[in-house]
Structure 1
């Protein structure tokens, strides 16, 4: 496999050299590697597993449909039921199409927006990631293979900065604005999302919310349910299947029907995929929605996240590294920051923290919890973090992490060249 993984965020260059475990199974919030080591895992499935690995009700729902076949030449009753149950969660959405990955949904939203407006340009908020497709990757540093003409069709604006968006919309004919309403690192300032909605309305621009992470983590109805601002289209994935591959594009009927049969306009090729509505993932979706309706996974994630953040930050104060190691973000979507002696973000010090956590049975590039994390898992993580920070403090006192690392530091996942973690 190029890079040794099917997702760049899962690559060995994202972990201390020689320490990236090869996993063989998971249960709850724990995973086991090929050498028999057990880890408390965070960021499970790149934030897609919110109920825990091997969550029994989802597996039971999947097993129940297997004997009936998986893929057919016509839509199934299951597709209709899943669509109805999903749309009941999403404020203001009339229609949905299911896909497999998040990029299916976001790229379909871009195509719909361009058709609806007759414009080409896309305004993308300066947030980490929206799609594997050319319209987005062309604007990144890692954009080899993307034609320059495609790269020029994406413009940027800043989060919580209405003036930057206003300038983009006034100077360009923009088909759509695509953004996350909130992230682990940033909440919307008062009036910001409302201002975005107003600017889009004034300029005839389609507003698209990416709910990949916020959906079923901020609320069952996503960030739009939390903040009360309705997009024209919204894109979902990750937690919808608790690890099973499913994504969704939801939106207003008059836009969505441009890809349907109730339009006299030129038709949009809209998420027409062989595996978009196979039975396994739709059964998993319905089971996930039941789990959210009958229980409180988000409440559990928020509670465990608060306990974890408070415990690790308290340990940092005790060890005396609280200016260098901090846990921040929404409790259900925590990040940790790692800084050097000057207070600047540091890849070597991040690597050192990851290295020492791994040695103590904690696996994760952040502290994003699931509803399966127990208080025991949290306590083990706090203990591991405290011990890791004792090593971290020694490195700070030495003025460098280099002498404490067993290999090269981690590197940004979406960099232009394989160096500085090129495989020799």
Structure 2
């Protein structure tokens, strides 16, 4: 019925619009067009357009089981050393990347949160070594400002001693071949045991006189100040205080200075060792060349407290210029020899390396020379000269010089050092 009504209405409209002069001709055309239009309309009504179906989204391909397990091992190792990587689920996210970045900071590496194959291996080796020798781990952690967090970096610098070889087993006692139908033999008469010689009487102990009864240590000279010992003690005090001092919470400015020195020392050691590895320097070459530099420049750095830092560094710069070495090459030498001085607790070598770096357009390294002057590492302790060298370094950083150590903590360290040297 609907289709018939549509035809009737179409016919009426067509007849009304057709001109009267050609009604017979146009009527046929109008009817044909009307029928076609009705058919199209009916088809559209009876056959609506098909629905558009969305293509289902393809699921992400499953990660290989070995890759997931490797990420689980990494998260477990990070958590083991105090870097909060979150759940050990094999799916690293923001929390795991933040933990990786913190771990990279203890190594003196770029803190981009993307772990390298070498860093993965270091984490696993460090965790295994800690479990094999907890006593060694506790000792190394006590000597590191980062505590247990610093163990992977410490293990990297102190390779594990090779295991003692198993004792060679004794060869089996040779057995005499059995003689068939051997005749029984009577046992031989044993020889008499030798008589042990009579021991000579022991000499009478010398009598202790009244003069020797009280030991006298007054003639002994005090040992040289040790950078390693200071940082061991500082780590113990920092741990007992519940953490390092900040610019807002600084009950002991002297301890705050020691904490910042030990942090910088750890960073500089790792940095110099990396540079040495990058340039392919062997330990024998480092020992030889850094020893030569110490001998050649120690006289130029005999008393840095007697003159302003600028005057002392100007003398070192003259030696650098006369050597014909580029500033870039000099900076490499300074960083390598600074790490060697800190590794071997050689204050004189560390002092020469620091002065060389500061004279070679890396003035912020003067901060560590200030700490050395304060504690008497290779110099006579001089608190006033110490403050002058640290201020010199801080002024250089404020003027735009690249920080020498811990670049991600520059603002915080600057605030701590400025407050500490003012109050100390």
Higher strand proportion:
1
- TM-score normalised by L of structure 1: 0.23
- TM-score normalised by L of structure 2: 0.23
